[in-house]
Chain A
């Protein structure tokens, strides 16, 4: 035996360390540290899988088997390296440095040295190991690094297992600092790779961006209209010129108007040889007159389908007009590509002599600027309308999603059944009445707003009437029945009511998930089966629920509604407005209404959540006080709840309006109207000055709004 180590080393359990070495976290689990063990196992599994995936993605053709092999190879090698290093450290500590240096070299010091060595050595080891390709080239250094760090984590958790096993039971878990640092490093390395971070590119290709920058930063030239006097004269020529053709007649000098004439007017096209360069076509003499003297005439060539271009390398294209307003020049026929489909009959080209005056500032806004302003207004309005609809809809929803309001609402099963039946009857009646009214008025298109209002009023009025009447009447009637009959009645009605949403959920399941998995047609073939299945399942659940309760039992229906509304709101809210925008465009078509619609949906859910939290945090005292005066529920809400929630409501609403306007600027990208709609088109057309105008307008609007909204909010909070 050697002399015992002088440093106060914790005792360690080799068995647990070995277990964890075989399966990460196992040692900790066996030692009774359940959450620590599970955490370690899950971390190692997830990080390992991520590393393999990253290596595979780096390769041109992902091959997960090969990637796993590569990963394991690197992992094993670095693991061995690490074990070697640790053994080395221990040996050095025991025989060479003794304690002081050994202590300094332990722990984090070792980790750092290890990482440096790994980065330096692994690449060599990997190539030496005989993989057919150089791993660094195909897979990047990230995979190597990931595997290496993971091996460190592996060893750490093994030694950790030994350590925690020797700790007294129920003692707090020791810190995991080293593991957390390793995990963070690993995640950083993987993230760097997955997001394709390329700092080099950001610098080397900055030119691409900086070329556009002036246009975007200062686009205001494009914002205004400029006048330009254009003086133009043309001469028609024929090319190619088969023998016997003479071409169009050369223009005669005109006495007052500008004129252009060419001789000859029939010739051969220039040709561009693959080897040997360019051979110009037949040379023509151009003469012109009656142009404003002392200015430059620009020569353009218009091909047979009417597209003009500046002919290069065949003569002068910018000619100074002399004192008399005349000029003479020579021009060879350029090489014009004539597509086979249009190459029939004589090919007539046009030579254009054009003189443009200086641009004159007119003070009028350009078309682009007017369009951008119009759409910016539309954008702000989309945000406003969505906020408005959002408030109106979120307000009642918020009460349904507030625990303190809903929790006291309890009712008997008997009454609830009556309420539901009454409500359904009321809504059906409302739909019937609305349909009659709509027929009377001559269809939905004739008076959509009026019919919508009628629908709203009748649904609200008849619905709540049915709700009240149904509840009271049912409670009366059912109480008179024998208990058995009562139960059968309630169960039957509840099952029938539950079948309706079940039917639609079944249908939605088939049209949604099944049609994605099986394809639309296969799913459509037996979608009714699923609808009935859903209806049956819901009816069954409702029946079972009802049978297990008596009609007199109080049910916290408030909390059931609360839970349902909350869940729905959370789902709707977690889907981004831009995705709702895509849904809305499919639903109601392109345009600003789609944007408003999408934003409204998201706003209702988001504001509903914020509002309901404001309601939940009110002081219950005034509620209690007003109840004790004999005020009913509505009066309590008006006098005790609303004054308390008004300031946060205003604050949240303005905050949301702010968000909505910002959101509506990009909803146009998916066709939801607003300035985003034209912005994305300008980007695709590379009209950077127009893009600049849009960006400026968005920036100004958002910044103003930001300032205004924070100002208003400060006043209310």
Chain B
């Protein structure tokens, strides 16, 4: 479904964030991405939907090369990829409803957006999405009145509005406490299993990775250093995982 080939990303200041990254994602997978902060997880996810322009390499989406699409051709591709963020990235002063409806913007004619117009159908969808994540009563609240966990649910509802084939989740639970983390990841798992939405999710708690992922890739200094299926994760002992993490951490320190 998604194929990343030899992706390299160099920031204008010369930082090499990704170095020759290649991997494939199959339909219906829950792919966990692990790595220390600064290892390139966020950059990778943002390159996939072209929020960042990769320097080299190709991104194939259902066989189509989307690496050099211009803005107008990118639109239909982007709306098939929902994205949720570590800091939720809601418009804090807008209502929950408007935040969720914003997920439909990829389908709405731009000129209509000038007058704040969404179809009744879209509004219906938004209520359904909010019901699905369990906060239908918060629709008229301002986004910044919600707790962190609730805000992330709004983020998921917004992504749902895109009717996505894939969800990119950039550290979705890093700003939440562990109990809420399970709740949010539970929603993602639900989408993965019930709706067959492919999920790419960067995480840094090993137990969460083990609990939810069907496959894992590990990134270190912009390179893929580990790749394994669901069985591999189960087999890997905590110790082995810690070894990978620990060693990298030490090597980073001595660099």
A630 contacts B75, CB within 8 Å?
Answer: yes
Please, which residue of chain B has its CB at the minimum distance from the CB of A628? B83
Q: What is the bound-complex CA distance between A639 and B74, given in angstroms?
A: 19
A635 contacts B90, CB within 8 Å?
Answer: no
Main secondary structure of the interface of A (DSSP, over half): helix
Q: What is the bound-complex CA distance between A702 and B1, given in angstroms?
A: 66
Please, which residue of chain A has its CB at the minimum distance from the CB of B77? A630
How many B residues face the partner with a CB closer than 8 A? 41
Q: Which residue from B92, B103, B110 sits with its C-beta under 8 Å from A629?
A: B103
Q: What is the bound-complex CA distance between A633 and B114, given in angstroms?
A: 12
Q: Which residue from A622, A629, A633 sits with its C-beta under 8 Å from B79?
A: A629
Residues in A whose Cβ lies below 8 Å from that of B75? 630, 632
Residues in A whose Cβ lies below 8 Å from that of B93? 643-644, 646-647
Q: Given A630-B79, A632-B75, A625–B158 Cβ distance below 8 Å?
A: yes
Residues in A whose Cβ lies below 8 Å from that of B72? 632
Q: What is the bound-complex CA distance between A647 and B105, given in angstroms?
A: 24
A627 at the binding interface (Cβ < 8 Å): yes
A622 contacts B90, CB within 8 Å?
Answer: yes
Please, which residue of chain B has its CB at the minimum distance from the CB of A621? B89
Residues in A whose Cβ lies below 8 Å from that of B74? 630
Please, which residue of chain B has its CB at the minimum distance from the CB of A634? B110
Which B residues from 106 to 165 make CB contacts under 8 A with A?
106-108, 110, 113-114, 116, 155, 158-159, 161-162
A619 at the binding interface (Cβ < 8 Å): yes
A624 contacts B113, CB within 8 Å?
Answer: no
Chain B nearest CB, measured from A61 CB (Å): 63
Q: What is the bound-complex CA distance between A288 and B38, given in angstroms?
A: 110
Residues in A whose Cβ lies below 8 Å from that of B103? 629
Q: Which residue from B104, B107, B114 sits with its C-beta under 8 Å from A634?
A: B114
A638 contacts B162, CB within 8 Å?
Answer: no
Chain B nearest CB, measured from A327 CB (Å): 84
Please, which residue of chain B has its CB at the minimum distance from the CB of A645? B93
B179 at the binding interface (Cβ < 8 Å): no
Q: Which residue from B49, B92, B105 sits with its C-beta under 8 Å from A626?
A: B105
Chain A nearest CB, measured from B123 CB (Å): 15
Chain A nearest CB, measured from B227 CB (Å): 25
B108 contacts A628, CB within 8 Å?
Answer: no
Q: What is the bound-complex CA distance between A643 and B105, given in angstroms?
A: 16
Residues in B whose Cβ lies below 8 Å from that of A628? 49, 51, 78, 81-83, 168
B61 at the binding interface (Cβ < 8 Å): no
Q: Which residue from A624, A635, A646 sits with its C-beta under 8 Å from B105?
A: A635
A640 at the binding interface (Cβ < 8 Å): yes
Residues in A whose Cβ lies below 8 Å from that of B114? 634, 638
Q: What is the bound-complex CA distance between A74 and B72, given in angstroms?
A: 78
B106 contacts A631, CB within 8 Å?
Answer: yes
Q: Given A627-B51, A629-B103, A630-B79, A640–B91 Cβ distance below 8 Å?
A: yes
Please, which residue of chain A has its CB at the minimum distance from the CB of B90? A622
Which B residues from 33 to 91 make CB contacts under 8 A with A?
46, 49, 51, 71-72, 74-79, 81-83, 85, 87-91
Central interface residue in B46, B76, B110, B161, by most chain A CB within 10 Å: B110
Q: What is the bound-complex CA distance between A635 and B76, given in angstroms?
A: 15
Q: Given A622-B91, A635-B108, A638-B113, A629–B158 Cβ distance below 8 Å?
A: yes
Q: Which residues of B contact A (CB under 8 A)?
A: 46, 49, 51, 71-72, 74-79, 81-83, 85, 87-94, 98, 102-108, 110, 113-114, 116, 155, 158-159, 161-162, 168
Mind listing 7 A-B residue pairs with CB under 8 Å?
A: A625-B102, A628-B83, A629-B79, A632-B75, A635-B110, A643-B93, A647-B93
